[in-house]
Structure 1
Amino acid sequence: MSSHYSRWEIMRRRPNTTFLITFITFLILFAFFSLNLSRYALSRFRYSDSVFDLDTRHNNNDDNNVFLHEYNHPKRRVSSIHFKLSISTVSVLLPDWEILLIVSPNTPLHYAYNYRCIFQNGAFSPARFFGVLPFMNVTTFKCDLPESVRRRRIFSKPALVTEASENEIDDPSPAPELLRWNFLVYESFSTEDDVVLFAKGVNHRQGYDRSPSELRCVFTMGDGNTVTTAVTSSVQEVFRCPHPDHVLLFQESEKIGISLVIIAENLVVPSVASYILRPRPNYAIKAQAQPKYFLCACTMVYNVGKFLREWVMYHSKVGVENFILYDNNSDDNLETVVNELHEEGYNITTLLWIWPKTQEAGFSHSILHSKSNGLCSWIMYVDVDEFVFSPSWKSQNEFPSLKSMLLHQQMSNVGHIGQVSMQCNEFGPSGQRKNPMEGVTQGYTCRRRVEQRHKSIVLVDAVDPGLRNVIHHFEVNEKQGYRSKQLSMENGVVNHYKYQAWDEFKNKFRRRVSAYVVDWRQNVNLKSKDRTPGLGFQPIEPKDWVHKFCEVRDQRLKSLTRAWFSIKLRHNETRMAWQKS
């Protein structure tokens, strides 16, 4: 046998060059894609080093400083192919799985960019610009909590980022837990004499308020030093305390946190509020014999753009000089309608009030706002679907005046009248299947027989310092001799167009702004007057809805407003003044 291999055997034993090249190429590509995939995944989890947090004893942190401060984490440079630096925010979990993000003051923002909330599990949701809070002057965004995050036991704060080209972000420690809306100090208001805090979850239910002695106000400076003062009043969601004696230590440019301490529990309530220094005395306002307006109307609104013109124009004609709207997150054309009414000469102030289920707190805030700015002597608290009138007006040719009604009540009674209340007539759908084109006063003319709860007009100076109010009715300061007076149904009444065409009423089903009215979606308080008879726990139209609650035909206000506001057109046609031509 030959000692040499044949050519065929040599070729058979030689390594397959093509296979080796293919295998090596595969390894290189796999390593390349694995590296980039890991970088991409890593970028989805990273947050900037200046992430605002609220450390509280409630979250098992021994630091009493619960206010906005910055983490100082060591930085690691991470390449990101999708997102820019995250933006410093404070985040609060609201009802319906919404997250409110309050941006750190003086943060530059680019409104042309698209923003996202990025969560620690890599999920994300679009962030929507929500507005600027008027009293804290900070920008806010909202985003939804993704389904995949809702299943977690602990909800961590998201990062607010912009979609952009390649950039670098920092790599800090894990994000803190989301603040919860049901236990939070959310606003503060400084008067010349004291500071007023608004807080959820401290006074837990209607009729039960903690004693002021159980609480303290705590002020925290940027360096972590704190000053506390006593709480002098604890009513519903409103708490009052003196300004700190050490106010001279605070720099006017310094951000000062403010919150409440529950003494027995050694617990500091989480807070997103900031302390505003004691305002300087406004001698110009004090020098005025009367506030700027005799009568204002105040209400909290949500998506009422289509109804606002009728409500404003009617009440302006009967004596309301200024309208104060607390906007509870409207996303309709409210701003456009308000601007149009401004151009027509109506005085309207719109204040963004984003906090859910805080109508009573907003009304308390309106008393402080009015007094500090010298706005109103009296404030009428009725909703946009409520119209105040007197049946005696039917005999008058000229427009009547609520001012003369109030002055008459003040002068004809012994003692100080600090509040005038009127009972409500509740109107039903009256056969309407959609919003009446001519307005609610024209389209809804059939009501329930029995009058319902009352609405009020209150003298601002007569309101009790505790600012307690329930369903548009304040407590007056009895120590100063003030009392309330309820008008007879012939002297004053409120037409409440409560049960409108189904599509309009359905929009109210999930938007109850009052903190002390029943949530229609819950199987509780079945006998509450807030519940709609025949309506279950879902927004499903009851049988024969269009004819419900029709016990009395009442066209008194329809006739009055048609006489006062109808405009004749050609061919014997008419339209109401609030209708667009």
Structure 2
Amino acid sequence: MGRKLKAALPATAIFLLFAASLWLHIFRDLLPFAAARFSRKYSTILYSHPVDRFRPNYAVRESIRSLPKLPPQAIAESVLLPDWEALVFLPSSSNSSTFPSGNSGTVSCLFNTGATSPARPAGTGAFRCILPNRLRRTLPFYTPSLVGSSFSAASQSQQDPPREMMRYTRLVYESVSTSNDVIVFAKGINRRQGTSSTVSGLRCVFSPASGGAIVAVTSVSSSAQEVFRCPHPPSANVSASGSLRVSLASGPDASPIPTVADYLSPRAASLGGAAEAARSPRASICACTMAYNVAKFLQEWVAYHAGIGVDRFFLYDNGSEDELEAAVSRLVSEGFNVMIRFWPWPKTQEAGFSHCAVVNRDTCEWMAFIDVDEFVFSPAWFKSDRPNKSMMGSLIKVDPRVGQVSIICLEFGPSGHRAHPHNGVTQGYTCRLRAESRHKSLVRLDAIDVSLLNSIHHFQLADGFYSRWMPIDTIRVNHYKYQAWKEFKIKFRRRVSTYVADWKENMNMGSNDRTPGLGFKPIKPDGWSHMFCEVNDTGLKEATLKWFSVDESHRMIGEK
């Protein structure tokens, strides 16, 4: 027994040493001697700073090699998004033309261990790549470098200390400058939906994009969900400091949270807005939507809504992996006014709509906030031989105090289809639920409250404006929500709303945002193709067949 005890002592000591090391690594920021790091008033650089040295990982003890030397423009910063995806930004001083924008196969993310991952373009100067599985167990997570065939091995012999990835849970991710203030979009400050929050103690913090001392601090004047407004910094501070970034701090002694949001001065913002206004007059009706892998649905949706009165379309590309850009290029070549804005931020639909409303206020009078599977339709329109712009136009012939027109939705099911209908959703899905569902809104942009608060379905309006609800027998939104299973299960990737549980989360199972008969796993329910079918409704099918069929065989526009 004594021998066994002696033999066990070294193993026990090693285990205790291992456990203590692991505990210190995980909870190092909670220790008393670590707290001093957070007491410096506004002393933290606004983005994740370079690591002075590699920290050993006591849990895995994986050796970390030095990164190879890359050209200065290839040294990047990044944000770790959900699903282990790294969003990598080139520095503003880099020449983004070094990297191809159309063929992502020639660019890769090079991680600190030497592992690589293919990189896909995510707008100008940004790429997305997946964090390799074996790196997910190793803390901290370092920003990868972007490498391509244009870099020779000889130029990759040394590497500056790497940056840690910024965490998406607490991040300033966008900003917009108006003539009067700056609007900041951030995660991790407000976690409540639907109400404006107190601005007490909240500050906008401005600092050089290259790092360094803070140059200005202004008080937040409005705080709602992920949207914050504050005054511009003094012009003298801006002109003397070069490129700036903006962040948020929750108190006078709190450190600003990490940021990737560049600050634009009022003068620069007004010049950009004047140039846009000079290019085209203000449109009567526009449409804004969050888009993820909707390329094959786009032709039908844009052609239909352009026909009934929508002048411009704004697509917020939320990480699409299909041929969205090619689809938009085809539509533009056909004369449709469609624009893509890369919006890589997961679960930010409310903030994206706020952004869309404020940046397009001078270019659009009214904005329809609808999804690509939603079609505005009035049974009375079927009497017309062809669509015309007065159809949607009739909805905005209202009292000047009407700030938004809200329209009830009807939800359609798979209608017997097991695959995407070759002639489009309006032709293929004709069976729906009887009950009325939620609503979508056509919003007067000048009537939106300064907070930009919205619930996706409608906006909070400024004082003096009110909403008008349309009768269901006059106008409705056909929502082709429950499509063929192959299409519907794509939604399990992620919900786009900030405050709605993802499909795969086992919570809020009784919510209206959940699908009846479906759990939290992408498992096809028995009889799916015939579910959600209570009323045979062919109104929009017959109207679009009359308006958009291109020959006697009733082939639809865009049908292959």
Task: Please state which band the TM-score falls in when normalised by the shorter chain.
Answer: 0.7 to 0.9
1: CA distance, partners of 2:156 / 2:175 = 37
- Helix, strand or coil at the partner of 1:259: strand
Give per-residue Cα distances to partners, 1:160-205, cap 9 Å, x unaligned.
44463334533555x3432110100001100000000000111013
2: CA distance, partners of 1:325 / 1:529 = 26
For 1:549, the aligned partner's letter is F
Q: CA deviation at 1:264?
A: 6.8
Q: Is the counterpart of residue 501 in structure 1 residue 484 in structure 2?
A: yes
1: CA distance, partners of 2:358 / 2:467 = 20
1: CA distance, partners of 2:414 / 2:450 = 40
Q: Decide which of 224, 240, 244 is 2:213's aligned counterpart.
A: 224
For 1:131, the aligned partner's letter is A
Q: Is the counterpart of residue 236 in structure 1 residue 225 in structure 2?
A: yes
For 1:541, the aligned partner's letter is K
1: CA distance, partners of 2:544 / 2:108 = 49
For 2:109, the aligned partner's letter is C
Segment drifting more, 279-288 vs 342-351: 279-288
Q: Is the 8 A contact 2:47 2:166 kept in 1?
A: no
- Helix, strand or coil at the partner of 1:313: helix
RMSD of the alignment, in Å? 2.9
Counterpart position of 2:357: 367
- Helix, strand or coil at the partner of 2:375: strand
Question: TM-score, structure 1 length as denominator?
Answer: 0.80
Give per-residue Cα distances to partners, 1:377-424, cap 9 Å, x unaligned.
10011101000011222333443524442243x14xxx7111000110
1: CA distance, partners of 2:204 / 2:385 = 56
Q: Is the counterpart of residue 204 in structure 1 residue 184 in structure 2?
A: no
Q: Is the 8 A contact 2:277 2:363 kept in 1?
A: no
Q: Is the counterpart of residue 353 in structure 1 residue 381 in structure 2?
A: no
Are residues 555 and 448 of structure 1, via their aligned partners in 2, closer, same or farther at CA, if it must alter by over 3 Å? same
For 1:293, the aligned partner's letter is A
Q: Decide which of 297, 309, 315 is 1:319's aligned counterpart.
A: 309
Are residues 363 and 69 of structure 1, via their aligned partners in 2, closer, same or farther at CA, if it must alter by over 3 Å? closer
Q: Is the 8 A contact 2:45 2:213 kept in 1?
A: no
Q: Is the 8 A contact 1:203 1:209 kept in 2?
A: no
Question: TM-score, structure 2 length as denominator?
Answer: 0.83
Q: CA deviation at 1:253?
A: 8.3
Q: Is the 8 A contact 1:313 1:578 kept in 2?
A: no
Q: How many residues are matched?
A: 501
1: CA distance, partners of 2:67 / 2:51 = 25
Counterpart position of 1:278: 266
Q: CA deviation at 1:352?
A: 0.9
Q: Decide which of 100, 106, 121 is 1:130's aligned counterpart.
A: 121
- Helix, strand or coil at the partner of 2:303: helix
Counterpart position of 2:25: none
Counterpart position of 1:66: 45
Counterpart position of 1:465: 450
Q: CA deviation at 1:333?
A: 1.2
Counterpart position of 1:154: 140
Counterpart position of 1:476: 461
Counterpart position of 2:417: 432
Are residues 72 and 324 of structure 1, via their aligned partners in 2, closer, same or farther at CA, if it must alter by over 3 Å? closer
2: CA distance, partners of 1:183 / 1:443 = 43
2: CA distance, partners of 1:183 / 1:506 = 29
For 1:117, the aligned partner's letter is C
Counterpart position of 1:448: 433
Structure 1 segment 27-42 matched on structure 2, within 5 A: none
Q: Is the 8 A contact 1:65 1:226 kept in 2?
A: no
Query: Higher strand fraction: Structure 1 or Structure 2?
Result: 1
Q: Is the counterpart of residue 177 in structure 1 residue 164 in structure 2?
A: yes
Q: Is the 8 A contact 1:418 1:482 kept in 2?
A: yes
Q: Is the 8 A contact 2:86 2:129 kept in 1?
A: yes
Q: CA deviation at 1:376?
A: 0.5
For 1:233, the aligned partner's letter is S
For 2:544, the aligned partner's letter is T
Counterpart position of 1:39: none
Structure 1 segment 432-581 matched on structure 2, within 5 A: 432-477=417-462, 479=463, 481-569=464-552, 573-580=553-560
Give per-residue Cα distances to partners, 1:445-480, cap 9 Å, x unaligned.
000110111000000100111001112311111x2x
For 1:531, the aligned partner's letter is R
Q: CA deviation at 1:313?
A: 0.6
Q: Is the 8 A contact 1:360 1:515 kept in 2?
A: yes
- Helix, strand or coil at the partner of 2:117: strand
Q: CA deviation at 1:521?
A: 0.3
Counterpart position of 1:14: none
Give per-residue Cα distances to partners, 1:264-302, cap 9 Å, x unaligned.
7623111111111113656969999x9521000110101
2: CA distance, partners of 1:532 / 1:287 = 43
For 1:232, the aligned partner's letter is S
Q: Decide which of 110, 117, 131 is 2:109's aligned counterpart.
A: 117
Q: CA deviation at 1:545?
A: 0.5
Are residues 518 and 309 of structure 1, via their aligned partners in 2, closer, same or farther at CA, if it must alter by over 3 Å? same
Q: CA deviation at 1:72?
A: 11
Q: Decide which of 388, 394, 402 is 2:376's aligned counterpart.
A: 388
Segment drifting more, 162-171 vs 270-279: 162-171
2: CA distance, partners of 1:145 / 1:127 = 10
Counterpart position of 2:24: none
Q: CA deviation at 1:59?
A: 7.5
Are residues 167 and 429 of structure 1, via their aligned partners in 2, closer, same or farther at CA, if it must alter by over 3 Å? same
2: CA distance, partners of 1:92 / 1:71 = 14
Indicate the structure (1 or 2) with the bigger Cα radius of gyration. Answer: 1
Q: CA deviation at 1:118?
A: 3.8
- Helix, strand or coil at the partner of 1:494: strand
Are residues 355 and 72 of structure 1, via their aligned partners in 2, closer, same or farther at CA, if it must alter by over 3 Å? closer
Q: CA deviation at 1:208?
A: 5.8
Q: Is the 8 A contact 2:47 2:258 kept in 1?
A: no
For 1:488, the aligned partner's letter is P
2: CA distance, partners of 1:65 / 1:352 = 29
1: CA distance, partners of 2:199 / 2:493 = 34
Unpaired stretches in structure 2, ≥5 consecutive residues: 1-33, 54-64
Q: CA deviation at 1:254?
A: 1.5
Counterpart position of 1:306: 296
Structure 1 segment 331-342 matched on structure 2, within 5 A: 331-342=321-332
- Helix, strand or coil at the partner of 2:550: strand
Identity of counterpart residues, as a percentage? 44
2: CA distance, partners of 1:535 / 1:71 = 46
2: CA distance, partners of 1:403 / 1:369 = 22
Counterpart position of 2:243: 255
